[in-house]
Amino acid sequence: MNNFSVRKATIDDAAFIARNVMEAVGHASDEKALKTMTRICQRQDTLYSYTNTIIAMVDGVDAGSLTAYEGTNYREKRQISFSIFKEEMGDDAMDLDDMQDETCAGEYYLDSLCVLPQFRKQGVGKYLLQQGIEYAKNQGIPHVVLAVEAQNPDAERLYRSLGFRKAGELFIFNGRYHRMQLDTTPPMRIDIITVLPEMVEPFIHTSILERAQKRNLVEIHIHNLRDYTTDKHGRVDDYPYGGCAGMVMQCQPIDACISKLTSERHYDEVIFTTPDGEQFDQPMANSLSMARNLIILCGHFKGIDYRIREHLITKEVSIGDYVLTGGELAAAVMTDAIVRIIPGVIGDEQSALSDSFQDNLLAPPVYSRPADYKGWKVPDVLLSGNEKLIRNWEMDQAMERTQRLRPDLLKK
């Protein structure tokens, strides 16, 4: 097993860094450009400065480098390198004037990663990336960003395995790149408190919710209320005062569970699921998906001791005007609607934004192959290839369906 280590680059590494940077963009054979780049790497005020570079070593031998920086003053620093290039390369300098910004303040931009050919396929690239991510975390920089060529699925897979997700497109020197982003802040956390964990557990470990947790985009924790009772028979409910029918969930276990959680971190909301709560809808899902931490307490039996609602609950939510046997399904519905709109959870972020209700409009119909199934035809416009006509058709359909099926949405 090879021994990996990392060191900060020094000014003496400038030529090594320059070669790596040029190699990464396919210009390593241009000796004149290499000399200029070396001068840029020797300075402290450029993006490609040695001060922005770390070097990976395998068994003490330099194997690759990562040049990365926080994006404050990106344009000014980029301009310095451009000017040096223009000055020294004259007409040969690449046309850099109307380049898109690759990064901005608040991002740690992994600009250039290069591993020497003899050290490839040994995990050196991944090691350097991990060092970069660690650095951003330690510095409290909220996002780590990089650009990957649109046609490089192997690299994209590596970045995804480290927690990066696609966040838009970039055009650099006319090449198309995917912007990939990793957030260094802890993901959103949802704590669900229930007397029936076996009902919620399979739900949160299926499909998109399971994938979102694996990708570290959300943490979902389930707490069995019975673990918090001081009753020696494990009871969490009792008869109601006043002699009416049914059982009431008692204060003590709920208080113990919520107090433990709130002593560990701040919660944006402590939600109680109940048919007499505020109606859950898409705007509420959108707003809750911006929270850092949420507690959802599932109601059960006849209800919960009202003092919990008065003293510990900050939001009471119903998923509709009907009564379920417990709040678990309501918690599952809310969790699903909240998590699916966290950026990165659904592959194509556009698809969450084009859901029904996101504009107070129902979604237009969708079709897939074949274009003709048993004589049931896909509307011609969708086969026309005319992007503008298709978008107009979708909008007309969304309006027509909303007017016909949910006219109340248009009055909101």
The residues of the shown chain that bind ligand ADE, judged by CB under 6 A, are 273-275, 299, 318-320, 322-324, 327, 330
**Minimum CB separation from ligand ADE for residue 174, in Å?**
54
**Cα separation, 16 vs 284, whole angstroms:** 53
**Minimum CB separation from ligand ADE for residue 282, in Å?**
16
Cβ-based neighbour number of residue 34 at 10 Å: 18
Nearest residue to ligand ADE, scored by beta-carbon proximity: 330
Strands 218-224 and 188-194: parallel
Q: Residue 243 forms beta bridges with which residues? A: none
**Residue 218 or 330 with smaller CB distance to ligand ADE:** 330
**Minimum CB separation from ligand ADE for residue 349, in Å?**
29
**Minimum CB separation from ligand ADE for residue 283, in Å?**
17
Of the CA atoms within 13 Å of residue 27, those in its CB half-sphere come to 16
The verdict on whether omega for the bond into residue 117 sits within 30 degrees of 0, i.e. cis, is no
Backbone CA torsion sign across 211, 265, 193, 226:
positive
**Residue 41 or 337 with smaller CB distance to ligand ADE:** 337
The residues near 380 (Cβ < 8 Å, ≥ 6 apart) are none
**Minimum CB separation from ligand ADE for residue 300, in Å?**
8
**Minimum CB separation from ligand ADE for residue 192, in Å?**
13
**Residue 273 or 402 with smaller CB distance to ligand ADE:** 273
**Residue 134 or 276 with smaller CB distance to ligand ADE:** 276
